[in-house]
Amino acid sequence: MKNNAFPKSLLQAIRYFADPDVCVDFVASMRWPNGAVCAHCGGHKVSYLSTRRIWKCMNRDCHKQFSVKTGSVFEDSPLPLDKWLTAVWLVVNCKNGISSYEIMRDLKVTQKSAWFMLHRIRLALREGNWSKMGGQDGGPVEVDETFVGPDPRKMHRGRRLRSIELNGGHGKAIVMGMLDRDARKVRAQVVPNVKRGTLQDAILNGIEKGSTVYTDGWVGYETLDAQDYIHETVTHIDEYVRGHVHTQGIDNFWSLLKRGLKGTYVAVEPFHLDRYVDEQVFRYNNRATKDNPLNDADRFVLAVSQIAGKRLTYAELTGKVEETSPA
Ligand SMILES: [Zn+2]
C-alpha cells in the first residue's frame, strides 16, 4: 500500500482510489490478508503481472488468471475499481441510502450499471453468519412486522396488477424485524405473510429459547410462551410504553427503513426489497454508538471485507435463476 493516510471522508476516498494500483492493493489486502490466493483453485503459488494487474496461478493443473474482482461481487464488471469503491463508500455512509440515479450522476455510469452496482453491493452487505439473538437468561428481543410498499391507489394500473400478483392481494410487502436490546443489533427479512407459522418459524430460527420476546398483541405471536420464550406484549394504541414492555427499538429501525424507501427509492419491487432491507440493516448495525464508535472509513472497510466469495449476475438479479452465492 502507498504511503498515503487512509481516507476519512468521501472526497479523500475519491482522491485516494483514483490510483488503480492503490485500489487493487486495497481490495487484495481485504480479500487475501496473507497474500493472494488463486480464485479458481485456491492455490498459493501465484504470480502477479503488474502491467495487467492480474495474477497467474502457477499450479500446474490450473494455470488460470484472475483479478482482484474474480469471485467477488465485482466479478465480470467492466467498471473500474475506483467507481466500485466510491459506490460502496456512498452506500454504507449515506444515512438514508442512495439511489441508482445519484450513483449514475456522481460516478458517471449508466443508470442500468448503477442499479446493478447497488444490488451487488447490497448482497455484499448481507451478514452471513448470524448467531441467535437474545439468551437463555431472558435476553430481551423485540419482534415486529411492518408493511412496505406504494399506495396501490396511486399506482399505474400495470404495476398495480403486478404488485397484487406478487403480494397476494394487499399490494404491500411485509418485513419482519427483530432487535436484540442488549447487543443493539437488528435482523430483518421479507416474509410472505403474518401467519403464526411464518412468524414463529422466524423466531425459532433467530432467537434463543429462554429469551424475553416483546411483540404487539397480534394473534400470530400468541403461542410463544408454549415455545419456551418469555412473551411480553404491548398494545400499541392504549399502552405504548409499559416499563420495559415496548417495541420502540424496532420502531426506530422501521422509521429509518421507510424514510430511506420514501426519499430515495422510486420503486422497490418485493423481490428487491430484501436487498434494500439488508443494506439498511448493515447501516443500523454498524452505526456509531458510544460503545462502538465506528466512523465512515470503518464501515467502508467492513463492507469491502465482505465482498469476497459473493457474486451476483444480471440474470440472478432479475430473478431468472437462483443465486449462486454461498452466503
Ligand atoms: Zn489456480
pLDDT for position 1: 46
- DSSP symbol at 118: H
**Ligand 1: centre distance to CA 61 (Å):** 8
pTM given for the model:
0.82
Which residues of the chain carry a pLDDT beneath 70? 1-4, 128-130, 150-171, 235-245, 263-271, 308-327
Give the strand pairing for 65-66 and 140-148.
Answer: unpaired
pLDDT for position 58: 97
Contact 261, 280 (CB under 8 A): no
pLDDT for position 83: 96
Q: Identify the bridge partners of residue 216 per DSSP, sorted by sequence position.
A: 234
**Ligand 1: centre distance to CA 46 (Å):** 8
Give CB contacts under 8 A, 24+ apart, made by 290-293. none
Contact 196, 220 (CB under 8 A): yes
**Ligand 1: centre distance to CA 277 (Å):** 36
Distance CA 239, CA 226 (A): 24
**Ligand 1: centre distance to CA 42 (Å):** 6
Q: Would you report the helix, strand and coil content of the chain in percent, each value rounded to 5?
A: 40, 15, 45
**Ligand 1: centre distance to CA 48 (Å):** 13
**Ligand 1: centre distance to CA 232 (Å):** 55
From 74, 78, 54, select the one nearest 64 (Cα to Cα). 54
Predicted confidence (pLDDT) per residue in 76-94, tens digit: 889 999 999 999 999 999 8
**Ligand 1: centre distance to CA 300 (Å):** 29
**Ligand 1: centre distance to CA 327 (Å):** 22
**Ligand 1: centre distance to CA 309 (Å):** 15
pLDDT for position 308: 58
Distance CA 205, CA 133 (A): 9
